Amino acid sequence: MIETEPKGQMPGGPGGGKNIIVIEDLQKRFGHLEVLKGVDLKVDQGEVVVVIGPSGSGKTTMLRCINFLEEYNGGRIYVDGELVGYREKGGKLVRRSEGEIARMRADVAMVFQSFNLFPHMTALENVALGPIQVRKVPKDQAYEKAKALLARVGLADKLDSYPSKLSGGQQQRVGIARALAMEPKIILFDEVTSALDPELVGEVLAVMKQLAQSHGVTMLVVTHEMMFAREVANRVVFMDGGKVVEEGKPEELFSNPQTERLRTFLKRFFEH
């Protein structure tokens, strides 16, 4: 599966779209700890890719690198053909300016495990902040759109609530609306149900499922929800030890794992 064309512009994939993300030989170290040891991954426009793997396998770090919340030490990440975080100058990588990095981040939305809503803003303000301050959408227009998005995630009656007054599930749905408001090229979901009480997981997964089925939204989802992966993903990627070990269509990957590591991982999961 590992191809080496740079700046993926090839057609293909279930959405028939081009590669919106191309990751080549991505490496990341924290001090002496090597977290990513050469990750290769491509995501097509409109595709829903679910990343599974044991904790510490580098899934979250990979997502954070795509949004350049972490600098990476080796390899390349391209979003829509543009190198993330750096420019190539005479074979060397030079960090992009703050403004360029911000512009690229605006096109890559992220939903966080710990929600990270802005506690001093209402649900509506949380969703509208990016469009107003980054996209320079006029305020009334941005609030109209934020209202529609909050309605879409089932929170039409919580527009003026502060996050402290919302349940975890509701907060996370605001988080999803906030991501959608940027009309991003891709949304990264970082274990978005892991911090939720079990009875609240369903409402968040339902919103994500509905998003996935609406097409057009490209999703890269790190999760431990195997049922979600099985039902919703176009493709499942298994990471272990800082590398992509296996990937494929969910039905193939789950029923016929090719590697011992994936077999062990799935066994542990489905025994519980």
Partner 1 sequence: MQAILDNWPLLIDGLVVTIEISIYVIVFGTLIGLVGGLSLLYGGSVLRGLFRAYVDIIRGLPLLVTIFLIFYGIPAVGIPMDKFPAAVLALSFFAGGHMSEIIRGAVGSIPKGQMDAAASIGLTFFPRLRYVILPQAIRRIVPPWVNLCVELIKGTSLVSLVSITDLLLSAQQILERTAQPIPFYILTAAIYFVLCYSMATLGGRLEKRFAYYD
Please choose, from the candidates 136, 131, 164, the residue with its C-alpha nearest in 3D space to the C-alpha of residue 147.
131
Q: Closest separation between CB of residue 28 and partner 1, Å?
A: 16
What single-letter DSSP state applies at residue 34? Answer: E
Residue type, 216: G
Q: Closest separation between CB of residue 109 and partner 1, Å?
A: 7
- Our finding on whether 160 is near partner 1 (CB under 8 A) is no
**β partners of residue 33:** 30
- Which residues ranging from 86 to 145 are in contact with partner 1 (CB under 8 A)? 98-99, 102-103, 105-110, 112, 114, 116-121, 129-130, 133-134
Q: CA 250 to CA 215: how far, in whole Å?
A: 18
- Which residues ranging from 179 to 208 are in contact with partner 1 (CB under 8 A)? 182
- Which residues ranging from 32 to 71 are in contact with partner 1 (CB under 8 A)? 64, 67, 69
Nearer to partner 1, 78 or 112 (CB): 112
Q: Closest separation between CB of residue 246 and partner 1, Å?
A: 29
226 membership: H or E segment, kind and range: helix 226-232
CB 146 within 8 A of CB 131: yes
Q: CA 152 to CA 156: how far, in whole Å?
A: 8
CB 109 within 8 A of CB 180: yes
Q: Which residues bind partner 1 (CB under 8 A)?
A: 64, 67, 69, 98-99, 102-103, 105-110, 112, 114, 116-121, 129-130, 133-134, 162-164, 178, 182
